């Protein structure tokens, strides 16, 4: 892929043009979310997550198009994990039994609804919450990567509790983090999401034209967070993921390759109704080569790590609700 295309992919964002004037419905929706956040904040988390899961089951019933796409993506994941010997017993069943796959699909809708609940409850995540509800898969590795002097790049994915790694980094480890957010066409919702995510202590910047701001953050010694499990604009870089070719955003690979800054993949998955398990997986520095070759090596490593983490809970990978592979886009 020409380097010009890599540069284009770095800056792609949903709804790339200027946002239009917000409609009354958009403003009302954002205001409702603010009100909901205030309303649910003091309520018991376990009960709220159970309610959200039921809402997700209703969502499953009324969204046939999303069911079809997510079912095809989830089936691919389960069958690949089974064929490669990395499937848990329940995922192995889903790979062969349509009824088991459908149960997993319903759970996927439930977990998607639970993510939005977590967004409106971000203000409740403090040190006491994390100490009580978060378990690190390998605390020594996590703290070594996060506490390393100087800058780091954390690559995330749409798995489980998306904001959880950032919350651990900022709240528990006291690091300053900067992360771009894709631009939504709904400006009031965009502002709400920026405020909500900003409550975790992460500095949110617009994704379009973010390259300079991210380089400055690294120069200051900050941690930069990037999501890389699906493209949101631009052609991306073709990699193999679960046995088929997909495209991941070029930006994370290019930034790691060009900066030479240490990078790791981080994710948080739900365990039961109120608890979470977090993973931090270091990436190796790419070997010498062209800019394109080194960026691709980074993204290949990230893809292998994504496969390993998604295997823990495929139903929590909410990228399955998006076109990921050419076969599912037809």
Examine the pLDDT at 155 and tell me if it is beyond 90: yes
More confident residue, 24 or 317: 317
CA 310, 280, 11, 304 dihedral sign is negative
Q: In this predicted model, which residue has the larger pLDDT, 239 or 23?
A: 239
Mean pLDDT of 215-233: 92
**Residue 3 pLDDT more than 70?**
no
234 pLDDT exceeds 70?
no
pLDDT at res. 16 = 43
* pLDDT of 268 over the 50 cut: yes
User: What's the domain range around 217?
Assistant: 3-18+25-329
Report the pLDDT value the prediction gives residue 32, as an integer from 0 to 100: 77
Query: pLDDT for 282-325, tens place per residue?
Result: 999 999 999 999 999 999 999 999 999 999 999 999 999 999 99
What is the spatial distance between Cα 62 and Cα 58, in angstroms, rounded to a whole number?
7
Residue 33 confidence (pLDDT): 75
As a whole number of angstroms, the distance between CA 136 and CA 124 comes to: 20
Of the candidates 268, 270, 232, the one whose C-alpha atom is nearest the C-alpha of residue 110 is 270
Task: Note the pLDDT tens digit of each residue in 178-194.
Answer: 999 877 778 877 787 77
DSSP 226-279: EE-SS-SSS--EEEEETTEEEEE-HHHHHHHHHH---EEEEEEEEETTTEEEEE
**CA atoms of 242 and 248, how far apart (whole Å):** 13
Position with higher pLDDT, 226 vs 195: 226
Check pLDDT > 60 for residue 223.
yes
What sections of 42-97 are H helices per DSSP?
45-62, 64-83, 89-96
Instruction: Indicate if the pLDDT at residue 329 is higher than 50.
Output: no
Tally of structural domains, the chain: 1
User: Is residue 70 over pLDDT 50?
Assistant: yes
What pLDDT shows up at residue 15?
40
Which carries the bigger pLDDT value, residue 165 or residue 120?
165
Q: What is the pLDDT of residue 53?
A: 97
* Mean pLDDT taken over the chain: 89
């Amino acid at each position: 892929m020409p380097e010009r295309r890599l540069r284009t992919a770095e800056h792609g964002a949903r709804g790339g043009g200027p946002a239009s004037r917000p409609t009354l419905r958009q403003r009302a929706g954002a205001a409702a979310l603010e009100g909901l956040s205030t309303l649910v904040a003091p309520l018991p988390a376990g009960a709220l997550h159970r309610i959200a899961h039921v809402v997700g089951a209703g969502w499953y019933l009324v969204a046939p198009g999303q069911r079809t796409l997510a079912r095809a993506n989830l089936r691919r994941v389960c069958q690949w994990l089974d064929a490669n010997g990395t499937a848990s017993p329940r995922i192995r069943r889903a790979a062969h039994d349509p009824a088991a796959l459908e149960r997993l699909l319903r759970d996927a809708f439930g977990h998607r609804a639970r993510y939005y609940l977590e967004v409106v409850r971000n203000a409740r995540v403090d040190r006491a919450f994390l100490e009580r509800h978060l378990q690190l898969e390998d605390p020594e590795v996590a703290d070594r990567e996060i506490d390393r002097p100087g800058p780091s790049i954390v690559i995330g994915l749409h798995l489980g509790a998306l904001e959880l790694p950032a919350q651990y980094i900022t709240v528990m480890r006291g690091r300053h983090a900067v992360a771009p957010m894709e631009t939504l066409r709904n400006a009031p919702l965009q502002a709400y999401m920026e405020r909500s995510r900003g409550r975790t202590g992460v500095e949110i910047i617009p994704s379009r034209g973010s390259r300079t701001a991210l380089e400055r953050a690294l120069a200051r010694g900050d941690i930069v967070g990037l999501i890389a499990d699906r493209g949101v604009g631009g052609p991306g870089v073709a990699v193999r993921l679960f046995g088929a070719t997909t495209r991941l955003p070029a930006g994370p690979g290019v930034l790691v390759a060009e900066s030479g800054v240490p990078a790791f993949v981080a994710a948080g998955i739900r365990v039961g109704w109120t608890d979470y398990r977090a993973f931090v997986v270091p990436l190796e520095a790419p070997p010498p080569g062209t800019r394109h070759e080194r960026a691709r090596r980074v993204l290949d490593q990230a893809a292998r790590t994504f496969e390993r983490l998604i295997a823990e809970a495929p139903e929590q990978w909410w990228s399955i609700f998006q076109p990921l592979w050419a076969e599912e886009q037809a």
